[in-house]
């Protein structure tokens, strides 16, 4: 059985679950999980965890992402993207300068608040928002803080003119960011209705476009026995944490998942990884109740 992380290029028109289903069939294994939903209309980098690496899916979900989007000024939609029905339209002739766009992007860079769109998978009172939306219900949604690390304009236009205006942006952001909502917020800063016309995720954590394979390419690699070329070791998901080689005196304790005296590295980091011969054995975190001690958060059985 394979264990590791497959950087998949999710193609437009598929759900993240569709990808998991197809990979299970291609690899003949049930132990497959994705690392954060990408809407069907979005293509891009989607790391897939296989085998023991499924234990690390939440770590990869929590990493930052980079997207490239087309923002369209002039209309808003029910879904805040091009798939929804138009709910507001401004057909006036617009004249927006590059400076105005850059100022709008700057105002939305850093820590900002977002309210998830009704057509999203956020749960309220045990139901997903899109379930309420499909039945015509509108409910109060939780506003949350997210971080936009960078928001860059990708073209070189000086003036944007017309009844409908589009421009490309690149967004580096924290987990939980809704680019659709950000598109609407950019429009609000410019004084017009807006939506996200298209979106591509170009980076997820450490994985970029260059690391990815499509489902078709994955099938070919399986047929040609080249699967190891595209599946990364699960240690890739742990690269941001201190990695500590296990000493003989604590090897048995760590393998048995025992509580240990806190390692100095946990003063500056929230997790540490114990390694044996360059293979992850366990992830340890501060003990939530016992001061000066740490406990295992994840354990990784040996794989032949």
Determine the length of the chain. 304
State how far the alpha carbon of 86 is from the alpha carbons of 83, 110, 161, 215, 220, in Å: 9, 30, 21, 34, 42
Q: Domain ends where: 144, 176, 198?
A: 198
Residue-level pLDDT at 118: 62
Cβ-based neighbour number of residue 179 at 10 Å? 21
Residue-level pLDDT at 154: 98
Question: How would residue 134 be classed by pLDDT, with cut points 50, 70 and 90?
Answer: confident
Chain segment 168-184, per-residue pLDDT in tens: 999 999 988 999 999 99
Contact between residue 32 and residue 24 where contact means Cβ atoms under 8 Å apart = yes
CATH code, domain carrying 127: 3.30.2350.10
Q: Residue holding tokens 């499924």?
A: 54
DSSP character for 63?
S
304 inside domain: no
DSSP character for 199?
E
Structural element, H or E, at residue 224: none
Same domain for 58 and 110? no
Query: pLDDT at residue 304 above 60?
Result: no
Residue-level pLDDT at 36: 79
Q: How confident is the prediction for the chain on average, in pLDDT?
A: 90
Average pLDDT over residues 17-43: 91
Residue 273: strand pairing partners: 243, 283
Q: Domain ends where: 174, 198, 222?
A: 198
Sign of CA dihedral 186, 65, 9, 211: positive
Residue-level pLDDT at 61: 84
Residue-level pLDDT at 303: 60
DSSP character for 270?
S
Same domain for 39 and 159? no
Q: At what angle do helices 215-223 and 16-27 cross, to 10 degrees?
A: 10
Same domain for 192 and 73? yes
State phi, psi for 95 to the nearest 5 degrees. Answer: -140, 100
82 inside domain: yes
Residue-level pLDDT at 25: 95
Q: Residue holding tokens 């296989």?
A: 50
Tell me how many domains the chain contains: 3
Same domain for 178 and 78? yes
CATH code, domain carrying 264: 2.30.130.10
Same domain for 14 and 80? no
287 inside domain: yes
Chain segment 14-24, per-residue pLDDT in tens: 999 999 999 99
Q: Domain ends where: 168, 198, 228?
A: 198
Question: How would residue 204 be classed by pLDDT, with cut points 50, 70 and 90?
Answer: very high
Structural element, H or E, at residue 236: none
Chain segment 64-96, per-residue pLDDT in tens: 999 999 999 999 998 899 988 898 999 999 999
Same domain for 54 and 121? no
Instruction: Pick left, alpha or beta for residue 162 (phi over 0 → left; psi -120 to 50 → alpha; otherwise beta).
Output: left
DSSP character for 263?
P
Residue-level pLDDT at 121: 60
The pTM of the full predicted model, rounded to 2 decimals, is: 0.87
Query: pLDDT at residue 294 above 70?
Result: yes
Residue-level pLDDT at 274: 96
Q: Own/partner pairs for 54-57, CB < 8 Å, 24+ apart?
A: 55/234, 55/298, 55/300, 56/5, 56/234, 56/237, 56/238, 56/298, 57/33
Same domain for 73 and 59? no
Residue-level pLDDT at 288: 92
Residue-level pLDDT at 120: 60
Residue-level pLDDT at 79: 87
Residue-level pLDDT at 69: 98
Question: How would residue 164 be classed by pLDDT, with cut points 50, 70 and 90?
Answer: very high
Same domain for 58 and 176? no
Nearby residues of 289 by Cβ (< 8 Å), 6 or more positions away: none
Q: At what angle do helices 179-190 and 98-107 cross, to 10 degrees?
A: 130
Question: How would residue 226 be classed by pLDDT, with cut points 50, 70 and 90?
Answer: confident
pLDDT exceeding 70 applies to what percent of the chain? Answer: 94
Pair of tokens at residue 211: 């690391």
Alpha helix segments (H runs only) across the chain: 16-27, 57-61, 98-107, 129-134, 179-190, 215-223, 248-255
223 inside domain: yes
Same domain for 73 and 188? yes
Same domain for 90 and 150? yes
Residue-level pLDDT at 206: 87
Domain region containing 59 = 4-63+205-236
Q: Is 229 a catalytic residue?
A: no
**Which of 118-122, 123-127, 194-198 tops mean pLDDT?**
194-198
Instruction: Give Rg (Cα) of the chain.
Output: 22
Same domain for 103 and 192? yes
Same domain for 76 and 141? yes
């Amino acid at each position: 059985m394979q264990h590791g992380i497959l950087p998949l290029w999710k193609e437009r028109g598929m759900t993240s679950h569709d990808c998991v289903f197809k990979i299970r069939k291609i690899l003949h294994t049930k132990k497959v999980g994705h690392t954060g939903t990408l809407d069907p209309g979005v293509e891009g980098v989607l790391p897939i965890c296989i085998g023991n690496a499924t234990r690390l899916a939440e770590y990869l979900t929590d990493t930052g992402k980079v997207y490239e989007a087309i923002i369209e000024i002039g209309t808003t939609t029910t879904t805040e993207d091009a798939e929804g029905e138009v709910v507001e339209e401004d057909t006036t002739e617009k004249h927006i300068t590059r400076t105005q766009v850059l100022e709008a992007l700057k105002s939305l860079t850093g820590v900002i608040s977002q309210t998830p769109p009704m057509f999203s998978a956020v749960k309220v009172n045990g139901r997903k928002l899109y379930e309420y939306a499909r039945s015509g219900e509108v409910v109060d949604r939780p506003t949350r803080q997210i971080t936009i690390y960078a928001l860059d304009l990708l073209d070189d236009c000086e003036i944007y003119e017309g009844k409908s205006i589009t421009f490309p942006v690149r967004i580096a952001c924290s987990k939980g960011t809704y680019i659709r909502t950000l598109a609407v917020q950019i429009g609000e800063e410019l004084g017009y209705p807006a939506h996200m016309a298209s979106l591509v995720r170009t980076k997820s954590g450490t994985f970029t476009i260059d690391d990815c394979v499509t489902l078709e390419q994955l099938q070919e690699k399986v047929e040609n026995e080249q699967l190891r070329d595209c599946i990364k070791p699960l240690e890739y998901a742990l690269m941001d944490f201190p990695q500590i080689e296990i000493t003989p005196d604590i090897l048995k304790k760590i393998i048995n998942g025992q509580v240990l005296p806190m390692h100095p590295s946990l003063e500056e980091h929230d997790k540490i990884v114990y390694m044996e011969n360059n293979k992850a054995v366990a992830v340890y975190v501060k003990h939530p109740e016992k001061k000066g001690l740490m406990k295992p958060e994840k354990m990784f059985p040996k794989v032949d």
